Structures are given as C-alpha cells and as structure tokens.
Amino acid sequence: MERLWWHDAVIYHVYPRSFLDTDGDGVGDLPGVRRRLPYLARLGVDALWLSPFFASPMADFGYDVSDHTAVDPLFGSLADFDELLDAAHGNGLRVLIDYVPNHTSDRHRWFRDARADPAGPRRDWYVWRDPSPGGGPPNNWITLFGDSAWTREEAGGQYYLHSFLPSMPDLNWRNPAVQEAMFDVARFWLDRGVDGFRVDCAPLIAKDPLLRDNPPAATGTSAHHRDLGGFDSQLHLHDQGHPDLHPRYRDLRALLDSYGEPGERIALGEVHEYDWPAWSRYFGRDLDELNLPINFGLLGTDWHPEAIRTTVRAILDAVPAGAVVTWVMGSHDDPRVASRVGPAQAANAMLLLLTLPGTAILYNGDELGMPDAAVPPERIRDPWGLRTPALSRDHARSPMPWSPDSPSCGFTFTGVEPWLPLTTPPGGTVRDQEADPSSLLSLTRDLLALRRASAALHGAGLAFLDSPPGVLAYTRSPGPGSPPGAGGDLLVTLNLTDQAVPLDHLLPPRPSGGPWRRVFTTARTRDAAHTGQGALAPAEGAVWSAGDGGGPHRT
C-alpha cells in the first residue's frame, strides 16, 4: 500500500490556552503557537493538532462552540490562524484542528433558533423530547459529569439532550440538514488549507433512535481507563456508538478525499472504546471512515511488561489489514505521563510511544517530562473538576515552561498570572533542556531522528521477546520493499525497574551473527550508558541494531 504522510507520523498536540501567551492576558493564543513553530520543527514532529480556538463562551474551554467559523478573540483572529497555517506549512508541518460534531454551545445561532421557534426548521437540528409518561426526563441517560443528560425548557415543557453541560446541546445528526451544515464547517477550514481534523467524541453523533434506557453497570466495573464516577454507573449502550454513525463517517472521509489526492487530508477520531474489535470498526469495512481512530489503551495500562504486552497485542490484533494504529501516552484530559509512571520512567514511556508501529500523538510538555501541576481548589477552572475535584483535568493543562528567567517561565511576557498554576519539570524549562544533551527534550529529539532514519520503525512488524522480569523487549522489522541500506531489524529493551538487568540472557542471537549494536539509550550519563555494556541500567531503555544502519547514535 502506498505510504502516506500520516502512516508513521508524529503529531504534536497543542493545547493553545497553555502554549504561549503573547497579548498579556495570561492565556495562550494563536500568535503564541506561531512563534513556537521553529521549536516544533527542531523537535522533529510531522504535524500539530490544535485544540479548539473557535468562538465560545468557554464553559468547557472551547468545546462549547458558538461559531464554528470564527476564532475567539481570546486566541486572536482568523488572520492570525491563516498566518499560523502558512508558517506551519513553511516549516514543513501539517496542521490538524479540532472538529466538534456532537454538540454546540446554547449560544450558537442554530440553537437560539431552535429554542425560539418550536415549529421552526432548526428545531429538529437538536434532540427534543416530551417528558416521560410519568413525568421527568425521557430516559435515564447521564452526562460525563454524572447528571441527567436532559434539561427541561420552561417554554413548551420539552427536554433537550446534552451529553455534557446543559449549555452544550447535542446536534441531531439524523437530520440531513445538520450533516450538511457541519460538512460546510469542514469545507470552510479545508478551503483555508488545513490538513485534517481531530474528530471530538466520535462515537457520540449517533444514539439509539428509540432512546432506550442504559442498563446499570456491574458494581466495580468500568470500560474506561480511569474511574469516571457517576458516569460509570451505567453501561453506555444506547447513548453512543449506534451503527448509524458509520455512513456519516464514510461521507466525511469522502469529503476529505475530495480535497487534493485521496488520503492527503485526514480525520483523527477520539474513540474512547476499549473493546478493541468495536474500536476497530471506526476504520470502516473498506478503510473508508476515520483514517486514524485513536486508541487510548496505554493511558490506563499498568506500567508493567506483561500488562503493556497484553494491551499492545490486543490492539494490533484488532487493526484491519492495511490500517494504521494511533498511539497516545498523554492527553489534555488525563494525568500526565510523568506522574503516572514516575519521573524515572518518563523516558521509557517516550521510547515506547515512538517505537511502536503506526502513528504517535505527543502531548505538549510530555517531551519535557512535565508532571501534573498542583492546582489548589480555589484555582480549579475545569467544569468537571469544579463538580468532582478528583477528576479535574487542570493538572494536565499547566502552561508550558519556556525559560527560567521570569515568574511565568516565559509563558507570558507580562507580570500577569497565568490562567493555571505553573509547574516545572525536573529537567527544567525548554531553554534549560535544550542546553542539556542528557535532558528528556534532547532525548526526544534524538529519538525522533532515529525514527525518521530507520526503516524498521517505519514498518509494521513487531514481535515481543521473552525477557527477564521487569523488562519489556520487542523487535521492529522493516516492511517489504525497504530500500537497500535502510537498516535491518531493531531491538527495543525497556527496563521498567529500578535495578540493573544483566544483558546475558536479554539480547537474542543475531541471525547474521556478531553483537547487537546499541544505537540509542535513555541513560542520562555516560557512566550509566557504560554500565549497559554488560547490563541495562536502572530505568534504562535502549535500541539495538541488527544491521549496519539504524540512524544516529545516542550512547
């Protein structure tokens, strides 16, 4: 199959509110993203994905869209976006933006029309129902926050559906006018030159048309990688993932493929589905739906070799032939990688992410080893966290620390307080880590260079090896038809313990004889790397080459 740009890309996820503030209001903006594009180009990623920057009341920080084709003044202007897009392309970076199809803000003109005129043409653009026969909501569906998914309008007495906040009413995708209106939104941004979309909450656009109640979940069970409180009290069989969504995503894919060569413009899909065969259906039977349904399996997997092997195997087994899997280790909705696995293992987490077959999404700040920020109760901004502080997503959204010479670590150029508290990783700010060849940032750059240079890391072949307790080991193989001199197999070894592991029984015999050659190590000092001549150092990850190629060294 023809290799397209996204088949083994590394996509850098930018949360604009927390990237760089250039206008002194304490909130990051689009000019700030543009100013840091050279940083992303030096890092070596292939694309950036921007979380929402659209006009919004900011009840959920931009996911409550009030105008899909306008930039919120908090982030700049449409001209600022165009300049960012041109500059990104000039730096060799593709640009993906969020696409929020499930709902709008209640201040969107569509919902204002629907609310004002029950007999009007836009009423059916949203999901309205009469009360249940006994009074009350039409069914038992609940929001992600654990509240009823229905809000009653005093005027007329009907309820409208919302999967999130009451100020975020769900669109009715069974109305063809809604699909066409949302596809017009996609055309607006495609015409400006974006390279694709990250589809927010992809399973939600199609619910059970009969609005059947969700059954209760068994006590102590959850399909999600983290406990979502009241939301996990139900099995969400009827309020998402109805088969009617597949024709909609085939239509979206056809729209994307109509811009330039098929496959050039893409759709990432946020698919929080942990039944992997069900997750894989979002590719489409003929790989004609979402190009890259994101899997979130590694976000909740125990940091133990057997658990990681089991998760990765299950996901790879579910991927249809010819499809490309997408991996994430960090997200703006989840605890930071360095806090989940511990700072000593953050480099191994990066090595795992960037040596698995397929596409990788790197969340801004994870290349620095940023931990979760300490956010006191009075500073919580996340609407979820305001209801349930333990579920607050603010901890993972702390502003980027760019330099050590200001109270805001270079995030804002004035004395204003950033919108969330700052945290500085153990290795320091971006400027600190750029000057330190042993930093996680420097390691990530070297690893991305190795990924680009190695045919094995572009291939689909992965085989896990038997390994000592606490060590994850696997080989990566070049795909068929790799050019001569591109290098042979690579072996990846991750020591997930705090003890040195002898190499005697870890490195398998090479088919061609001779020793394995270390081409990359996460060891922070030459002394630690030297230990690796006979052992993997504590928490060391290494890449070994079976051929004369293999790209740059980090030893």
The rounded distance, in Å, linking the Cα atoms of 207 and 529 is 54
Element (H, E) at 475: strand 471-477
Phi then psi dihedrals of residue 18, to 5 deg: -115, 15
What number of other Cβ atoms are within 10 A of residue 480's Cβ?
Answer: 8
What number of other Cβ atoms are within 10 A of residue 549's Cβ?
Answer: 19
Give 159's strand partners. Answer: 129, 152
Q: For this structure, is 270 an active site residue? A: yes
Element (H, E) at 184: helix 176-192
Query: Which of 29, 270, 367, 394 is labelled catalytic?
Result: 270
Start-to-end CA span in the chain (Å): 35
The answer to whether 352 and 329 are in contact (CB under 8 A) is yes
3-state secondary structure string across 487-526: CCCEEEEEECCCCCEECCCCCCCCCCCCCCEEEEECCCCH
3-state secondary structure string across 41-106: HHHCCCEEEECCCEECCCCCCCCCCCEEEEECCCCCCHHHHHHHHHHHHHCCCEEEEEECCCECCC
**190 CB contacts (<8 Å, ≥6 apart)?**
255, 256, 259, 265
The rounded distance, in Å, linking the Cα atoms of 312 and 383 is 33
What number of other Cβ atoms are within 10 A of residue 339's Cβ?
Answer: 19
DSSP 201-239: TGGGG---TT-PPPPBPPTT--SSSS--GGGGGB--SSS
Q: For this structure, is 200 an active site residue? A: yes
The rounded distance, in Å, linking the Cα atoms of 550 and 455 is 8
The rounded distance, in Å, linking the Cα atoms of 542 and 482 is 23
The rounded distance, in Å, linking the Cα atoms of 300 and 294 is 14
The answer to whether 81 and 97 are in contact (CB under 8 A) is no
Length of the chain: 555
Q: Using the CB atoms, write b or e for 78-116: b if 16+ within 10 Å.
A: eebbeebbebbeeeebbbbbbbbbbbbbbbbebbeebbe
Structure tokens at 236: 């969400």
Query: Which of 29, 200, 289, 540 is labelled catalytic?
Result: 200
Q: How many helices (H) and strands (E) does the chain have?
A: 14, 20
Q: Catalytic positions, please?
A: 200, 270
